[in-house]
Amino acid sequence: MRDSAAFSDPARERIMFARRLLVTAVGTLLLTAVLVARYFDLQISRYEDFATQSNNNRVLVRPVAPSRGLIYDRNSKLIADNRPSYNLTIVPERSEDLEELLADLGEIINISERDIQRFRKRLKQRRPFAKTSLRFNLSEEERAVLAVNGHRLRGAETSARLKRFYPDGELFSHVVGYVGRINERESKTIEAIKYSGTDSIGKIGLEKFYEQQLLGDVGSEQVETNALGRVTRVLDKTGAVSGDNLTLYLDSNLQQVGLEAFRDKRGALVAIEIETGGVLAMISAPSYDPNLFVSGISQKNYDSLLYSQDRPLFDRAIRGQYPPGSTIKPMFGLIALQHNIVTPSYKIKDNGYFYFKGIERPWRDHNFARGGHGDGVDLAKAIVESCNIYFYGLGVKTGIDLLSDYGAQFGLGSTTGIDLPGEKRGIMPNRAWKKGSRGQSWFNGDTINTSIGQGFMLATPLQLAVMSARIASRGEVRTPQLVKAINGQPQPIIEAREEIKISDKHWDYVHRAMENVVHSNRGTARSISKGLTYKIAGKTGTAQAISIDAEDKYDSTKIAERQWDHALFIAFAPADDPKIAIGLIVENGEHGGSAAAPIARAVIDAYMQSDPSAAVAENQEP
Amino acid sequence: MHRNDFVRQLSSPGGDRRPSRIMHIDIPLLLILIALCSIGLAVLYSASAESIFYVKRQATFMFIGLFAMIVIAQFQPRLWERWSIFIYLCGLLSLVAVLFFGVGAKGAQRWLDLGVTRFQPSELMKIAVPMTLASYLGKRHMPPRFKHVTIGVIATLIPVLLVARQPDLGTSLIIFSSGFFALFLAGLGKRYLLSTALLAMAAVPTLWFYVMYDYQKQRVLTLLSPEQDKLGAGWNIMQSTTAIGSGGLSGKGWTEGTQSQLNFLPESHTDFIIAVLAEEFGLIGVLGMLVLYLLLIGRCMIIALNAQSMFGRIMAGTISLTFFVYIFVNMGMVSGILPVVGAPLPFISYGGTAIVTLFLGFGILMAISTEPKRI
Q: What's the pLDDT score for residue A195? A: 84
pLDDT at A549: 45
As a whole number of angstroms, the distance between CA A547 and CA A452 comes to 15
Give the ranges where A41-133 is alpha helix by DSSP (H).
47-56, 98-108, 113-125
Residue A63, beta-bridge partner list: A220
Cα separation of B25 and B32, whole Å? Answer: 13
Contacts of A43 in chain B (CB under 8 A): 244-245, 247-249, 278, 282-283, 286
Cα A16 → chain centroid: 68
Q: pLDDT band at A187, cuts 50/70/90?
A: confident
* Domain range A252-617, its CATH number among 1.10.3720.10, 3.40.710.10, 3.30.70.260, 1.10.10.1100: 3.40.710.10
A289, amino acid identity: D
Q: Could you tell me the pTM of the whole model? A: 0.62
Asked if the C-beta of B107 comes within 8 angstroms of chain A's C-beta atoms, the answer is yes
Nearest C-alpha neighbor of A297 from the set A455, A391, A394, A179: A179
Averaged pLDDT, A292-302: 84
> A305, A267, A265: which is closest to A284 by C-alpha?
A267
Pairing mode, strands A580-586 and A566-573: antiparallel
Q: What does the alpha-carbon distance between residue A504 and residue A405 come to, in Å, rounded to a whole number?
A: 20
Distances (CA, A) of A113 to A85, A87, A89, A96, B178: 22, 17, 16, 22, 54
What per-residue confidence (pLDDT) applies to A550?
Answer: 44
Per the prediction, chain A carries an average pLDDT of: 86
pLDDT at A620 (0 to 100): 41
Three-class DSSP category at A486? strand
Tell me the pLDDT band of A557, cut-offs 50, 70 and 90. Answer: low
Inter-chain CB proximity A53 and B268 less than 8 Å: no
**Spatial CA neighbour of B98 closest among B54, B14, B163:** B163
pLDDT at A482 over 90: yes
Q: Is A371 left (phi over 0), alpha (psi -120 to 50) or beta?
A: left
- Given this model, what pLDDT does residue B262 score? 60
Query: Which chain B positions have a beta carbon within 8 Å of A44's beta carbon?
Result: 248-249, 283
pLDDT of residue B118: 65
Instruction: Say whether B118 sits in a helix, a strand or coil.
Output: strand
pLDDT over threshold 90, residue A316: yes
Q: Using the 8-state DSSP alphabet, how is residue A82 labeled?
A: E
- State the pLDDT at residue B231: 57
- From A525, A474, A460, select the one nearest A503 (Cα to Cα): A474
Q: Can you tell me whether residue A83 is helix, strand or coil?
A: strand
Per CB-CB distance under 8 Å, the chain A contacts of B323 are none
Interface predicted TM-score (ipTM): 0.89
Contact criterion met (CB below 8 Å) for B61 and B295: no
Contact yes or no for B310 and A124 at CB 8 A: no
Cα maximum dimension of chain B: 69
Contacts of A183 (CB under 8 A, 6+ apart): none
Whether the domain at A61-248 and the domain at A252-617 fall into the same CATH topology: no
Q: CA separation (Å) from A404 to A293, A400, A413, A453?
A: 41, 6, 9, 11
Cβ–Cβ under 8 Å, residues A66 and A108: no
Of A24, A35, A51, the CB nearest to B246: A51
Query: Other C-beta atoms within 10 Å of A406: how many?
Result: 22
pLDDT of residue A155: 80
Q: Are A129 and B49 in contact (CB under 8 A)?
A: yes
- Give the tens place of pLDDT for each residue, B278-336: 999 999 999 999 999 999 999 999 999 999 889 999 999 999 999 999 999 999 989 98
Average pLDDT over residues A484-500: 88
Looking at the predicted structure, is the pLDDT value of residue A383 above 80? yes
**For chain B, what's the residue count?**
375
Closest CA relative to residue A20, chosen from B200, B192, B149, B181: B181
Helix (H/G/I), strand (E/B), else coil: A315:
coil
Q: Count the Cβ atoms, other than its own, within 10 Å of residue A309.
A: 7
Per-residue pLDDT averaged across A193-216, rounded?
89
Please give the pLDDT value at position B258: 72
What are A133's strand-pairing partners?
A: A89
> Chain A window 90-109: which residues touch B at a Cβ cutoff of 8 Å?
93
Residue of B146, B259, B264, B287 for testing the chain A interface, max A β-carbons within 10 Å: B264
> Is the Cβ pair B290, A40 closer than 8 Å?
no
A17 contacts on B by Cβ (under 8 Å): 142, 185, 187, 304-305, 310, 313-314, 317
DSSP 8-state code for residue B344: P
- Give the helix/strand (H/E) hosting A219: strand A219-225
Mutate to test the interface with B, among A52, A54, A184 (most CBs of B within 10 A): A54
Q: What is the pLDDT of residues A321-343, one digit of tens each?
A: 999 999 999 999 999 999 999 99
**Searching chain B, which residue's CA lies closest to the CA of residue A44?**
B248
pLDDT at A614: 40
Rounded to whole angstroms, the Cα distance separating A307 from A291 reads: 19
Q: How far is CA A185 from CA A182, A189, A214, B100, B103, in A?
A: 8, 7, 21, 20, 11
Asked if the A61-248 domain carries CATH number 3.30.420.40, the reply is no
Residue A619 pLDDT more than 50?
no
Other CB atoms within 10 Å distance of the CB of residue A437: 11
Q: What is the mean pLDDT of residues A269-275?
A: 95
Alpha-carbon distance A442 to A438, whole Å?
Answer: 10
pLDDT above 50: residue A245: yes
From the list A318, A341, A312, A380, the residue with the least C-alpha distance to A522 is A380
Q: Which is higher by pLDDT, B132 or A130?
A: B132
pLDDT in tens, B18-75: 777 778 888 999 999 999 999 999 999 888 877 788 899 899 999 999 999 999 999 8
- Range in A145-149, A178-182, A601-605 with the lowest mean pLDDT: A145-149
Chain B partners of A192 at a C-beta cutoff of 8 Å?
106
Domain ranges of chain A: 10-56, 61-248, 252-617
| Percentage helix, strand, coil for chain A under 3-state DSSP, each rounded to 5 | 40, 20, 40
Alpha helices by DSSP H, listed for chain B, are: 19-22, 27-47, 52-73, 77-101, 121-138, 146-164, 169-185, 190-206, 214-224, 233-247, 258-261, 273-306, 310-334, 352-369
**If you ran DSSP here, which 8-state letter would residue A511 be given?**
H
Sequence letter at residue A564: W
What is the rounded average pLDDT of the residues A195-204? 86
Nearest-Cα distance to chain B for A22, in Å, is 9
Phi then psi for residue A376, to 5 deg, are 65, 40
Strand order in the sheet with A267-273: A279-285, A267-273, A580-586, A566-573, A537-543
Query: Parallel, antiparallel, or unpaired: how do β-strands A200-204 and A489-490 relate?
Result: unpaired
Q: Does the structure show a pLDDT above 60 at B6? A: no
- State the burial class of residue A617 (Cβ atoms within 10 Å of its Cβ: 0-12, 13-18, 19+): exposed
Interface check for A2 against chain B (CB to CB < 8 A): the answer is: no
Is pLDDT of A352 > 70? yes
CA distance B93 to B154: 15
Average pLDDT across chain B, whole number: 83
Pairwise CA distance, residues A415 & A397, whole Å = 28
Q: How many CB atoms are located within 10 Å of the residue A289 CB? A: 18
What does the alpha-carbon distance between residue B271 and residue B342 come to, in Å, rounded to a whole number? 7
Q: What is the pLDDT of residue B8?
A: 47
Average pLDDT over every residue of A18-24: 92
Helix (H) / strand (E) containing A24: helix A10-40
pLDDT category, A618, cuts 50, 70, 90?
very low
What is the Cα–Cα distance from A110 to A304, expressed in whole angstroms?
A: 26
Chain B residue with the nearest C-alpha to that of A7 = B142
Tens of pLDDT, residue by residue over A423-465, are: 999 999 999 999 998 889 999 889 999 999 999 999 999 999 9
DSSP three-state, residue B158:
helix
A622 pLDDT above the threshold of 60? no
CA distance B351 to chain A (A): 14
Q: Over the stretch A105-122, which tens digit does the pLDDT of each residue have?
A: 888 888 888 888 888 887
**Full strand arrangement of the beta sheet holding A219-225:** A59-64, A219-225, A231-238
Looking at the DSSP assignment, which residues form a beta bridge with residue A363? A354
B184–A contact, CB cutoff 8 A: yes
* Spacing of C-alpha A297 from chain mean position: 20
- Please name the residues in contact with A410: beta carbons below 8 A apart, sequence gap of 6 or more: A331, A466, A467, A470, A471, A500
**Residue range A189-204: average pLDDT?**
83
Of the candidate ranges A24-38, B65-79, B242-256, the one whose mean pLDDT is the lowest = B242-256
Residue B149 Cα, gap to closest chain A Cα (Å): 13
With beta carbons under 8 A apart, name residues in chain A contacting B262: 57-58, 60, 129, 225, 229
Please give the average per-residue pLDDT across A3-32, as a whole number: 81
Q: Is the pLDDT of residue A617 over 60?
A: no
The tens digit of pLDDT for each residue in B194-241 reads 888 888 788 777 777 776 777 667 767 766 666 555 556 667 787 888
Which range has the worst mean pLDDT, A11-20, A34-43, B16-25? B16-25
Backbone angles phi and psi of A597, in degrees to 5 = -60, -40
Euclidean distance between CA atoms B89 and B366, whole angstroms: 24
State what percent of residues in chain B have pLDDT above 70: 84
Going by C-alpha positions, the residue among A495, A458, A459, A489 that lies closest to residue A477 is: A495
Q: Is B332 on the interface with A (CB under 8 A)?
A: yes
**Residues of A acting as catalytic residues:** 326
Find all residues with CB under 8 Å of A499, minimum gap 6, and list them: A475, A476, A477
Closest CA to B33 of B73, B60, B65, B72: B65
